Structure 1
Amino acid sequence: MSLNSIFQYFVPKDKKFFPLFEQAGANLIVMAKALKESVYTTDLSRRAELNKKIEDLEHKGDDITHQIHLELGKNFITPFDREDIHSLASSLDDVADFIQGASNRMELYKVETPSQAMKEIADLILEATDHVAKALNELRDLKNIRNITDSCVRINSVENKADYIFDKAMSELFEYEKDAITLIKTKEVLSAMEDATDKCEDVANVLESILVKNA
């Protein structure tokens, strides 16, 4: 057991890191919902509004990440290992970055008619972020290990589904799409979206590491 873990037995419940992680999780859900709406609409002006909203939310996520790092610098005792706090904050920030990246590419490339694969992966991003947020909300009480583990398993399942949809979409794209510009646009957007699910899986991996160390 680490020195930090021993100290935790003698200090009050953390009132800084857990609320910040919960805010980060809630922010990801709002971003994912906005991305889903953006993918399902063909109204380019509405998509531009949603892209701006997602950009603002990504900046909000950056602020939360920055605050977590500030708290790490100010607090000697943390609720779990400092490296894991840093890794968790960074992986959550990565999810936000790729959600924003997917939205931005749709806007920049003027994707008029999002593909079915984009819609399906957008659905999965929202599902994954929901599980991420649920797991983060359980961190306050590590006695509920089963709930966190269940969320991690579901995140991994979602990521596998996104991989399958992405690979199938790429296969069909290169086989049937004859317009090179459309092919590149579609590939770039799908890549960013699939990467967002990969980053959710990275969050799950960090959470599982925390569980192992604090079991």
Structure 2
Amino acid sequence: MGGFNSFVKLFMPKDRVFYSLFEDVASNLVEMSQVLNELVATTDLAVRKDKVHLIERLEHKNDDYTHRIFVELGQNFITPFDREDIHYLAATLDDVADYIHGSAKRMDIYKVHNINDSIRKLAELIHLGVLELHKAIHELRTMSNMRIITDACVKINSLENHADDIYDMAIAELFETEQNAAELIKMREIYQALEIATDKCEDCANVIETIIIKYS
């Protein structure tokens, strides 16, 4: 009987670890996007530098979580949902972290003194998108309230559309008003990194929708 029990234990759902890791990633992203908003709200360059360093540390933490998800994928026979969906969700969540970090880093190395409304608005949309992701990911564990997940995904799609509009207007204004080519390139790169972060939130939402369609 003992042998049979250990055999059964071998196939016990070790998959719960994935929920915990995804929840850790989601919480870490909320913190990163919160710090990004604090960064763009301040004019104090020393404070801004501290925020950039904090985002960098959080991004490394995110890399560790992502690595652990991939390691678990390699070791676990049983997963809570399709392996490729787990892989893609982990990778796209990691992309969100990378682009939050990338935009903060660019503001720092390009010494952007004038953080304008477009940058602040895009940072706010990233934070709102990440909060919705956090909501959806915490529901994946039980899938008892699909409505929360679908509502969050719909909200993320509309936030991404809003970010596209802000980005288009910011770029148009930049080309109209910025005479200095170097400044123009710097600002465009920052806008792009921020906008891509919202795209990546939408990619995450799309994977989550794929998952719940398969399991509903």
Q: TM bucket by the smaller chain?
A: over 0.9
Question: 2:25 is matched with which residue?
Answer: 24
Tell me the amino acid that sits aligned with residue 108 of structure 1.
I
* In 1, Cα distance between equivalents of 2:90 and 2:14: 19
Alignment of 1:197-208 (within 5 A): 197-208=198-209
Please say which of residues 135-144 and 193-202 is displaced more in the overlay: 135-144
Kindly provide the amino acid, as one letter, of the partner of residue 191 in structure 2. L
Matching residue of 1:166: 167
Letter in 1 for 2:194: M
Give the Cα separation in 1 of the matches to 2:18 and 2:164: 32
User: What residue identity is the alignment partner of 2:129?
Assistant: A
Deviation of 1:143 after TM superposition, in Å, equals 2.9
After TM superposition, the score normalised by the length of structure 2 is: 0.93
Q: Deviations over 1:49-75 (max 9, x none)?
A: 111100000000000000001111111
Contact 2:25 2:93 in 1 (8 A): yes
Tell me how far apart the structure 1 counterparts of residues 173 and 50 of structure 2 sit (CA, whole Å): 31
Which position in structure 2 is the counterpart of 1:40? Answer: 41
One-letter amino acid of the counterpart of residue 96, structure 2: V
Cross-structure match for 1:3: none
State the match for 1:7 in structure 2. none
Shift of 1:145: 1.2
Task: Kindly state the Cα deviation for residue 180 of structure 1 after the two structures are TM-superposed.
Answer: 1.8
For residues 149-206 of structure 1, give each alpha carbon's deviation from its aligned partner in whole angstroms, at most 9, with x where no partner exists.
0000000011000000000111111012212222111111111000000000000010
SS of residue paired to 1:153:
helix
Give, as a single letter, the amino acid of the residue that structure 1 aligns with 2:104. Answer: S
TM-score by length of 1: 0.93
CA contact (8 A) 2:14 2:79 kept: no
Alignment partner, residue 69 of structure 1: 70
Matches for 1:75-154 after TM superposition, within 5 Å: 75-154=76-155
Report the secondary structure of 1:42's partner residue.
Answer: coil
Structure 2, unpaired ranges of 5+: 1-10
CA distance in 2, matches of 1:110, 1:42: 11
- Give the residue type in structure 2 aligned to 1:184: I
Which amino acid is the alignment partner of residue 120 of structure 1?
K
Once residues 15 and 157 of structure 1 are traced to their aligned partners in structure 2, the CA distance between those partners, rounded to angstroms, is: 31
Q: Which runs of 5+ in 1 are unaligned?
A: 1-9
Distance 1:123 1:167 in 2: 16
| 1:15 CA displacement | 2.4
One-letter amino acid matched to 2:203: D
